[in-house]
């Protein structure tokens, strides 16, 4: 099965991980700090703080930013639930902003959602395509709002040559197994703000600071959200290969773009020439005529070896959110969910694989055109 996304682990990754397993430290050794320094160098942010997942990183970022009871957070509904979950658990209220056909938050609709309770804007770089960050920074600055970017898809993406991670107050990355690079499970916050970096480290590890000898002091509430040494070593090794991973994914994406250029039955995500996408996902947006047979299309693609997936059900459509905040329906986000399929595009694929994906997709989509609903 050709998967919509998949890790690439090589002998060098295995070697560095084995080295850690034979070393003195499996936790709280030098590797996490090394990985953090590698991440800061790569993204161009001053500080990087590693966590055991992006969910933990989001939680820590929201918490040290002072987000709490009654704060309103403007965010994208087309994301993994953790983006909203982690501030909702702190008592904040999600104000979902509609998206555009590329799956990113519609920057032109943010300002009208701002109220005196608004505390932060949390955009998500869908599929690795950077959001309209310059515009969003301007809105955040004008209204004195925090900007926390969920860039779980976008490690290595850039805008005008500047990497995602160097723009927002805090930016979150995920190193889950199938994200742009992997540490198995893992995540990080990058920031240029020293106070945030300090607070994130405390939050990650019991709120404790070392004094002399055996003495330590717990100065604030904290958890154990630490990354292991094994994971961090894998992260540093993977990061060295990220440019190559992204180049491969972009070669496949460019081939798809060319094959699908005149296609009438679906759209693809356009990447502007001054931006680079990590191409974590390659989403297609089906024509509304194909909403109905989407289940059949999805099933047949899987039967023919394409490990497709749908990203995402709008967060507000989950029963937890309906119960807590009532029904929400944003027109483009709703349609996006009916239309989207992520097709295989990952660094383990050959160009022959890419050709098979394109051929099969075109064949299946055209077969179901005008067939209507079967359920």
- DSSP string covering 216-237: EEE-S---B-PPPHHHHHHHHH
**Cis status of the peptide bond prior to 312, with omega within 30 of 0:** yes
Backbone φ/ψ region at 290: left (φ over 0), alpha (ψ -120 to 50), beta: alpha
Verify binding: residue 119, ligand PLP, rule CB under 6 A: no
Tell me whether residue 82 or residue 330 sits nearer to ligand PLP (CB atom): 82
Which residue, 106 or 360, has its beta carbon nearer to ligand PLP? Answer: 106
Instruction: Tell which positions 80-99 bind ligand PLP, by CB under 6 A.
Output: 80, 82-83
- Judged by CB under 6 A, does residue 182 bind ligand PLP? no
What binding mask, one character per residue, do residues 13-52 give for ligand PLP by CB under 6 A, x or -? ----------------------------------------
Part in contact with ligand PLP (CB under 6 A); list of ranges 75-83, 138-146, 228-236, 325-333: 75-83
DSSP secondary-structure letter at 141?
A: H
Residue pair 179/153 in contact by the 8 Å Cβ criterion: yes
152 binds ligand PLP (CB under 6 A): yes
CA-CA distance, 50 to 156, in Å (whole number)? Answer: 17
Distance CA 152, CA 321 (A): 22
Please check whether residue 76 is in contact with residue 227, taking contact to mean a CB–CB distance below 8 angstroms. Answer: no
Q: Contact at 8 Å (CB) between 226 and 28? A: yes
Give the residue with the Cβ less far from ligand PLP, 103 or 344.
103
Edge-first strand order for the sheet with 162-163 is 162-163, 158-159, 275-276
> 264-303 mask for ligand PLP (x: CB under 6 A)?
----------------------------------------
Provide, rounded to whole angstroms, the least separation between the CB of residue 155 and ligand PLP. Answer: 11
Is there binding between residue 53 and ligand PLP (CB under 6 A)?
Answer: yes
Pairing of strands 158-159, 275-276: antiparallel
Q: Give the nearer residue to ligand PLP in terms of CB position, either 225 or 252.
A: 225
> 212-238 b/e with 16+ CB inside 10 Å = b?
eeeeeeeeeebbebbbbbbbbbbbbbb
Binding residue for ligand PLP, selected from 36, 71, 102, 150, defined by CB under 6 A: 150
Number of residues engaging ligand PLP in binding (CB under 6 A): 14
Q: Does 54 bind ligand PLP (CB under 6 A)?
A: yes
The piece of 106-114, 145-153, 188-196, 319-327 that touches ligand PLP (CB under 6 A) is 145-153
Q: How far is CA 122 from CA 21, 287, 364, in A?
A: 37, 29, 37
The only residue of 43, 55, 85, 191 in contact with ligand PLP, by rule CB under 6 A: 55
Least separation in angstroms between CB 82 and ligand PLP: 4
Site for ligand PLP, rule CB under 6 A: 53-55, 79-80, 82-83, 124, 150, 152-153, 174, 176, 187
């Amino acid at each position: 099965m050709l998967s919509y996304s998949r890790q690439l682990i090589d002998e060098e990754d295995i070697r560095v991980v084995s080295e850690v397993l034979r070393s003195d430290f499996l936790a709280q050794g030098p590797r996490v700090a090394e990985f953090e320094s590698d991440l800061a160098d790569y993204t161009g942010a001053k500080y990087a703080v590693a966590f055991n997942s992006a969910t933990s990183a989001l939680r820590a970022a929201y918490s040290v930013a002072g987000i709490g009871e009654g704060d309103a957070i403007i965010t994208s509904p087309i994301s993994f639930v953790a983006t909203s979950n982690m501030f909702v658990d702190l008592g904040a209220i999600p104000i979902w902003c509609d998206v555009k056909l590329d799956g990113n938050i519609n920057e032109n609709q943010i300002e009208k959602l701002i109220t005196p309770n608004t505390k932060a804007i949390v955009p998500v770089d869908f599929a690795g395509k950077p959001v309209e960050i310059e515009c969003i920074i301007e809105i955040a600055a004008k209204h004195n709002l925090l900007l926390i970017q969920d860039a779980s898809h976008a490690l290595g993406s850039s805008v005008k040559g500047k990497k995602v991670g160097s723009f927002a107050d805090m930016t979150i990355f995920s190193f889950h197994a199938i994200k742009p690079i992997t540490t198995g499970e893992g995540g990080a916050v990058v920031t240029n703000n020293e106070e945030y970096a300090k607070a994130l480290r405390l939050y990650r590890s019991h709120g404790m600071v070392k004094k002399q000898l055996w003495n330590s002091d717990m100065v604030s509430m904290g958890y154990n959200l630490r990354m292991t040494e094994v994971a961090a070593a894998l992260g540093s090794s993977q990061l060295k290969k990220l440019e190559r991973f992204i180049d491969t994914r972009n070669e496949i994406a460019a081939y798809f773009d060319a094959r699908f250029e005149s296609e009438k039955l679906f759209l693809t995500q356009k990447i502007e020439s001054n931006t680079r996408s990590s191409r974590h996902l390659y989403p297609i947006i089906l024509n509304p005529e194909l909403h109905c047979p989407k289940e059949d299309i999805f099933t047949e693609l899987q039967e023919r070896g394409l490990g497709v997936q749908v990203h995402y059900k709008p967060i507000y459509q989950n029963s937890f959110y309906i119960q807590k905040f009532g029904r929400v329906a944003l027109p483009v986000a709703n349609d996006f969910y009916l239309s989207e399929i992520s097709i295989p595009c990952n660094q383990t694929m050959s160009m022959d694989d890419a050709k098979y994906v394109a051929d099969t997709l075109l064949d299946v989509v055209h077969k179901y055109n005008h067939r209507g609903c079967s359920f």
